[in-house]
Amino acid sequence: MSDNQNLLAEQRRAMILDEVRRRGGVRVNELTRKLKVSDMTVRRDLDSLARQGMIEKVHGGAVPVVEPSTHEPGFEAKSGMETSAKEEIARAAARLVPPGSAIALSGGTTTFALARRLLEVPGLTVVTNSVRVADVWYGSAPDSDSTVVLTGGVRTPSDSLVGPVADQAIRTLHFDLLFIGVHGISAQAGLSTPNLAEAETNRHLVRAARQVVVVADHTKWGTVGLSSFAPLDAVDVLVTDAGLDPEDRAEIAELLPRLVVAGESDTDD
C-alpha cells in the first residue's frame, strides 16, 4: 500500500471516529455514503478502530467505547492525546495572562502545556497543585522573576496534589486567574472529574479565583466524570480547539460569557 493510501485510510478513520463520538454511534451504510467508499472498506476501518480500543462494533455499525465515570487515566496516558490541540489551546490561553498577575494552574496535561508558554510572561505569582506544572518553573532558567507555590497533598494518577493539605493551602489564597483542566465539561454536569478528592480541591480553586478559565480540547465537551465540582455558570472563559463541532460551538457560545477557539480570533464570544 502506498503512502498516499495509508494517509487516506488514516484520514477516513479519523472522520469515522469523530462521527461516532459526536453522534453517539453510526451505521455502516451512513458511512459508505458520507465517505464515498465501499461497504468492505468501512468495515475494515471499523475493525481497525475496534482493535485499537477506540470504538465498539455493534450490529450494522459502531458506538463509542464507554468508560466508567470513575476511570482516571494517568498523566503519561493523557499526554499522548490531542497533543496538537493542547498546544494550540496553551498558546491562546497564555495571551490572557498579564505580566505580574497572580494565577493558579490546576493539574492536567493542558495546563502543563500552558505552563511552558507562561515562562515567557514576567513577574507572575503561580500557585499550582500539579507536580508537573511546578517542575516547568523549577527546571527553567534561574533568573526567572516568577514565584511558584506548590501546594502539598496526596498525589493522584494525573500528578495533582489533592486532599485536606492542598485544600487548606488554597482556602487562604486569592487569584486573578485560574486556569483549570477538566476530565469533562457539559451543560448538565458542568465541570467534572472521576476523582472525588480532586473534585473537592478543584472546588476550592474555583472559589479562590476572580476569573475562571477552563482549558479543554473538544473531546472533553459532553464528557461527564463521577463528581461535578463547578456549574457551567462558574466559568468565565472556555479555551478550546477548532475540532469542536459547530453545533456544540453554538451551544457553548450561548451558555458561556466567552468562548476562545484556539487558532481563530481570541475575541470570539
180-210: burial string, b at 16+ Cβ within 10 Å, e else: bbbbbbbeebbbbbbbebbbbbbbbbbebbe
State CA 21 to chain mean position distance. 15
Determine the pLDDT at residue 21.
76
Mean pLDDT of the chain: 86
Task: Pick 96 or 65 by higher pLDDT.
Answer: 96
User: Measuring CA to CA, which residue among 187, 8, 219 is closest to residue 109?
Assistant: 219
The proportion of the chain whose per-residue pLDDT surpasses 90, expressed as a percent, equals 56
User: Domains along the chain?
Assistant: 3-64 (1.10.10.10), 75-261 (3.40.50.1360)
Which residues does 80 contact at the CB level (< 8 Å), separation at least 6? none
**Cα–Cα distances in angstroms (integers) from residue 260 to residues 199, 240, 256, in the given order:** 25, 6, 11
- The DSSP bridge pattern shows strands 190-193 and 161-162 to be unpaired
Residue 231, SS3 per DSSP: coil
pLDDT beyond 70 at 142: no
pLDDT beyond 70 at 269: no
Cβ atoms within 10 Å of 252's Cβ, excluding its own: 19
Ranges 80-84, 104-108, 261-265, most confident = 104-108
Where does the chain have alpha helices with state H? 3-23, 28-35, 39-51, 75-79, 83-94, 109-118, 131-138, 164-171, 196-207, 246-255
CB 185 within 8 A of CB 248: no
Report the distance separating Cα 18 and Cα 156, nearest Å: 29
pLDDT beyond 80 at 20: yes
State CA 18 to chain mean position distance. 16
Which residues does 228 contact at the CB level (< 8 Å), separation at least 6? 189, 190, 191, 192, 199
Which residues does 267 contact at the CB level (< 8 Å), separation at least 6? none
